[in-house]
Amino acid sequence: MSEPREAARRPRLGHPVLAPAWTVLILALCSIPGSELPEVKIVAADKLAHLLLFVVFALLWSWRKPLVGTAAVLLGGLALAVISELYQGWIGLGRIPDPFDAVANSAGLLLGLILFRRPKRRLKAQ
């Protein structure tokens, strides 16, 4: 009877490939030439896409605990948020670094970290 309890106490590490694969996907999306990006008529669709990419980034890396702590997810995510924008200007594929994209990336990262922590607080209260 103690075996299910012990299994429930073990930390979940998430799938070992998902978080790194998502990070590579973000970099791959940053590498698409500007001329190949679709024109979207929705206001702020670009910023919403950046936000959602980094919400998922934060959630996937947070599920890798205890191998990856919250501080590492935050620092690594902030670095990726800024470096991915600088990278777009550096590769010369018709992409322009946008500081507001870096802000949307960072906001998504913070939102993902908040969302990851919220269910834990509800469970502790019960």
pLDDT digits (tens, 9 = 90+) for 59-101: 999 988 767 789 999 999 999 999 999 998 898 888 889 999 9
The structural domains of the chain, with segments of one domain joined by +, span: 46-126
pLDDT at 13: 62
Say whether 107 sits in a helix, a strand or coil: helix
Retrieve residue 20's tokens.
């790194």
pLDDT at residue 25 is higher than 50: yes
Retrieve residue 11's tokens.
């930390």
pLDDT at 35: 82
Q: Which of 28, 123, 21, 117 is nearest to 69 (CA)?
A: 117
Average pLDDT over every residue of 7-32: 80
Q: What is the DSSP letter of 16?
A: T
pLDDT at 2: 47
No. of helices (H) and no. of strands (E), the chain: 5, 0
